Every structure is written in C-alpha cells, then in structure tokens.
Chain A
Amino acid sequence: GAVVSQHPSRVICKSGTSVKIECRSLDFQATTMFWYRQFPKQSLMLMATSNEGSKATYEQGVEKDKFLINHASLTLSTLTVTSAHPEDSSFYICSAPTSGSSYNEQFFGPGTRLTVL
C-alpha cells in the first residue's frame, strides 16, 4: 500500500505553546489529506479535510483558528495546534486517499502523540 509519514511521532509541550505536525505522502501525490483526532479507547474523529491549493474544510465543532491546516504541496499537509491546552492532548493521525482512486482507499500516517502539560 501507499506510504504516509508523520512527524513528530511524539511531542510534549507546555500549555500555551503551538505545535506543528507534518503529514507527508511518500510515494504518491495527495491533493486531499484528512486529519483525525483519537482519544484513548475511542474512535477516530475527523477534524478537517486538507485541500492542496485551497482552504481546509473543518468538521462541525472544530475551531479553524485553533487547528491551522496548510496543504503546502501535493505531498505535504501540516496541522498546527495553536495555544495548546491539556484538553488538546490526544493522538493526531493523518490519512490520504491514493491518487486517482475512486473507491476512497485511505492510508494512515503513524500518528503523533501530543501531550500538553
């Protein structure tokens, strides 16, 4: 399957700081990427759809000014958690559908464990 990477894999930060997470498609181009958040023992909750060349589409209840998304190229999307607080601590995972797929196959990055102190 297609390969998606994320960086960093783990980050611990102080409350009030901003954290940037990168998601890269390594062997394919992704005009669309998805950002999910997963709390312990819960399902993946879609936060937003990242679109190359245009604004991200946020799901209901997700603050776009808090979770900044930039789809800089066909292989890179970044999620910045601004002014992070302890309640933002979670597992953040990106995914990308393979180019040209009409059947929505999505491949996930390894995730980023964010801990806000």
Chain B
Amino acid sequence: GENVEQHPSTLSVQEGDSAVIKCTYSDSASNYFPWYKQELGKRPQLIIDIRSNVGEKKDQRIAVTLNKTAKHFSLHITETQPEDSAVYFCAVPPYGNNRLAFGKGNQVVVIP
C-alpha cells in the first residue's frame, strides 16, 4: 500500500517564525496532496491542498510545495501564531482512488 511519512514528528517554533513540515509518499500515480490540521479532540480540518499539475499553492500564511519527481510535498506556515499549535497530517490517495492514506502526523508547538 501507499507509504506516507512525515518529518519531523514534533516541531517547536517561536511565535512569528516559520514552520516547515515535509511529507514523503511512495506511489508515483498519486495526484492529490492535502494537508489537514487537527486540534486536540477535534476533527481534522482541510487547510490546503495541491494537485499534481502545479508546484506551489499559497493561501495567506500557509503554502504547500510539491516535488513530484522526489515524491514529497511540504507545508509552510509563516508568521506562526499560538493558534497554529496542532497536529498536522498529510494524506495521499493511493493508486489514484479516493481513499486517503494518512501520515503519522506532525505536532507543531508555537511558543509565545
């Protein structure tokens, strides 16, 4: 099956600094790459996604970059704020279908 890995598992940043977390996947046929944010006890929320025909997408302080050749995509959060503290999951649909395989998650802690 699809192998999805996230690094680092935990990331602490000072408020105002940038955070970058990376997701690698194994299936070269994958064409959709979302990032979800999950706060404790809450549902995962889709925060940004990218299709395989573009290399970068930005939405205010959040951006996602995709490197299909190397099979990885990264989440960039600029000007971090305490409310950005959460677990972030990347996901990839294996074999081009609409199921999602999730990575193990990155715990991001923004220190005020």
Q: Is the CB of A42 within 8 A of B104?
A: yes
Contact check, A105 vs B100: say whether CB atoms are below 8 A apart: no
Q: Is B99 an interface residue (CB 8 A)?
A: yes
- A34:B43 contact, CB within 8 angstroms: no
Instruction: Enumerate chain B residues within 8 angstroms of A113, measured Cβ to Cβ.
Output: 41
**Across-interface contacts of B102 in A (CB, < 8 A):** 43-46
The residues of A that contact B103 with a CB separation of less than 8 Å are 43
Inside 8 A of A34's CB, which chain B residues have their CB?
A: 99-100
Contact check, B104 vs A108: say whether CB atoms are below 8 A apart: no
B98-112, CB < 8 A from A: 98-105
Nearest Cβ distance between residue B27 and chain A, in whole angstroms? 13
Flag if A105 contacts B43 (CB, 8 Å): no
Q: Which residue of A lies closest to B107 (CB)?
A: A41
Task: Name the distance in Å between A49's Cβ and chain B's nearest Cβ.
Answer: 6
Whether A93 contacts B43 by the Cβ 8 Å rule is yes
Q: Interface residues of A, CB < 8 Å — how many?
A: 22
Chain A residues positioned under 8 Å from B41 (CB to CB)? 111, 113
| Interface residues on chain B, number (Cβ under 8 Å) | 22
Closest A residue to B101 by beta carbon equals: A46
**When A44-B44, A110-B43, A111-B43 are in contact, do A105 and B99 touch as well, CB less than 8 Å?**
no
Main secondary structure on B side of the interface with A: loop
Chain A residue, CB-CB nearest to B100: A106
The answer, yes or no, to whether B29 is at the interface (CB within 8 Å) is no
| Complex interface residues of chain A between 82 and 111 (CB less than 8 A to chain B) | 93, 95, 97, 103-111
Identity of the chain A residue whose Cβ is nearest the Cβ of B36 in the assembled complex:
A108
B34: chain A residues within 8 A (beta carbon): 104-106
Among B49, B98, B105, the one with the most A-chain Cβ atoms within 10 Å of its Cβ is B98
Q: Which residues of A contact B89 (CB under 8 A)?
A: 43-44
| In the complex, A32 has a CB within 8 A of chain B | yes
Contacts of A110 in B (CB 8 A): 42-43
Determine the chain B residues whose CB is within 8 A of the CB of A95 once the complex forms: 100
CB nearest neighbor in A for B97 = A104
A108 to B93, CA, bound (A): 16
Query: Which A residues are closer than 8 A to B by beta carbons?
Result: 1, 32, 34, 42-46, 49, 93, 95, 97, 103-111, 113
